[in-house]
Every structure is written in structure tokens, then in C-alpha cells.
Amino acid sequence: MITGSPFIAGDACLLFDVKGRRYLIELIPGRSFHSHRGALPHDEIIGSPEGASLKTTSGTFLTVVRPRLADYVLKMSRGANVLYPKDAAALMVWADIGPGMTVLEAGTGSGGLTMMLARAVGPTGRVVSVERRSDHATLARSRIAGFFGDVPDWVDLRVGEVVDMVEEVGPERIVLDLPEPWEVVEAAAEHLPGGGGFACYVPNVPQVETVRAAIAETGTFIEVSTFEVMMRDWSVNGRSVRPSHRMVGHTGFITVARKVLDR
Ligand SMILES: C[S@@+](CC[C@H](N)C(=O)[O-])C[C@H]1O[C@@H](n2cnc3c(N)ncnc32)[C@H](O)[C@@H]1O
């Protein structure tokens, strides 16, 4: 998709009203978007360039853009809680996810992190994403297709237990957002290549303690670190420039580690 190009049917579209309120829709011919500021037929958005402002039936304007991936993930309807973009961004850097890599991810959940991984590894890479609940896997498939137009060829969505797939997939990176990541540590120690990465996200301190103990127990990981990410938005309004009154106070802890060969 080229930035700025006209919308086509099936695109995800983010609408902004004059107050900055945002609405995420999928463009379907014949449908209309309705708000207290009037209606806007999808057919008027289809064919309009990204960034255009279009008049509703009540005469106010809505500006239309394609959602950034972070907007899409936060706004899409979902089953499982998504990993917040601030955490996904840091995880992507410190787990060192890059083009061409093979990544094993679990659980797929709503597919939020899967989409970020898919973008990061690109068409020369591979993301195998595993989800134990088939209802979550089905929803994630449709959310991923809603953003990319279809599930990318290099994304393999599977239903099952992640620990059963480590050996067969042979990943360079393992990325986990699930409640018991320690259950995967032994398989990661056995099957990751030297220099390969293990990363997990958990919301509670006892989970951090348990996964760190499991990592230490293997004796085969270095550069093990646990951190959290705080992002504070600022309000900039004339001469009033200050941190926002509200922020997301806690999400979770990220742990990363690198596999080495026997020492
Ligand atoms: C918090 S959600 C993941 C959200 C996802 N990262 C996102 O951004 O949309 C956790 C998911 O892990 C799944 N899960 C838990 N343990 C699992 C396991 N051992 N193997 C595969 N999936 C698992 C759960 O069913 C749930 O859907």
C-alpha cells in the first residue's frame, strides 16, 4: 500500500472529527459511517486520497487516513488483550527482531504482536504464531487480514501448544506473551541456535521471578535482562506545556535472554 494513494474497498480507514475523536472502520461498498456529526457513505471514501477531509450529511468534516499499525492494534475489536505498542516496540528492539528471521511467537491472542513481528521480519522471514484457543486464533486471523488485506504468506498461524512446536520450527527468536513462559524455557535452551533470542512479557512480579529462575537453571543464556517501559504523553497547548494528567501506569515486564552453546 502506497502512502497517500486512494482508498479501495476492504481498506482499514481511520476517521478523525474536528475534535480529534478517532473511529476505525473497514471500507465496505454500500455502507455508511454514522456518528452524532452525521453520516458519511463508505463509497465517498473509496477513491478519495488518504488525508482528504470529506463532508458528512450534517456539513461537518471527517479526515480519512489509513491507521498506523499501533492505531489499528489499539482500536480493533479483540478477544485477548493486546500487547501495548510501547511494549511491543521495546521488545522488538531488545529481542533483536529483523528482516529475514524465523520467529516463533505465542500466544497469538488477538494478533497484535503477530502483525508487528510480520512487519519486522518481512517477506524474507517467517513468523509462526501459536495459539491454544481456536476462538482466539480465528479472531486473530481476521484482524491480521483486516490490516494487511490478507494474512501475509510468511505468517503461519497455528492452533496448539507452543512448547510442542519449538523443535520443528527451529526459530532464531522465541517471543512469548502468555501466562507461563517458563514452560518453554527448557525447549528454547535445547533448540535455539547459539546467539538466538528468547523474550517474554508478563504482567506480574512472581511470573518474572519464575521465568528468571527457569532461565538461570538452564545455564545456557547470557545477557538476561528484565525491564519495563513507561511512556508519558505530554499536553502541548499554547503556553501550557506539561505532562498529561493521565497515563497507563502499568502494563508488564519484558525479559530477554540470548542462548549460548555449552560453556
Ligand atoms: C495476552 S494474550 C496474547 C496477546 C497478543 N500478544 C496480542 O498482542 O494480541 C495470551 C494468549 O496466549 C494464549 N496461550 C496461553 N498459553 C499458551 C500456550 N502454552 N501455547 C499457546 N497459546 C497460549 C492464550 O489463549 C491467549 O490467547
The rounded distance, in Å, linking the Cα atoms of 48 and 162 is 43
Average pLDDT, rounded, for the chain: 96
pLDDT score of 193: 98
Looking at residue 153, its pLDDT comes to 98
Q: How far is the CA of 126 from the centre of ligand 1 (A)?
A: 19
Distance from residue 228's CA to the centre of ligand 1 (Å)? 20
Over 80: is that where the pLDDT of 52 sits? yes
Write down the domain spans for the chain: 12-67, 71-259
Instruction: Provide residues with CB under 6 Å of ligand 1.
Output: 80-83, 106-107, 109-113, 130-133, 136, 161-162, 177-178
Amino acid at 215: I
Ligand 1, atom nearest to 107 Cα? 12
Just give the CATH number of 12-67. Answer: 3.10.330.20
Q: Please report which residue ranges of the chain form alpha helices under DSSP H.
A: 42-45, 69-75, 85-94, 112-121, 134-148, 166-169, 185-191, 205-218
Q: How confident is the model at residue 116 (pLDDT cuts 50, 70, 90)?
A: very high
Average pLDDT estimate for 56-71 = 96
Asked if the model's pLDDT at residue 83 lies above 90, the reply is yes
> In testing the pocket of ligand 1, which one of 69, 97, 108 has its CB within 8 Å of the most ligand atoms?
108
* Residue 68: predicted pLDDT: 97
In which band, very low, low, confident or very high, does the pLDDT at 36 lie, cut at 50, 70 and 90?
confident
Q: Is 107 in contact with 144 (CB distance < 8 Å)?
A: no
71-259 classified as CATH 3.30.1360.30? no
pTM for this prediction: 0.95
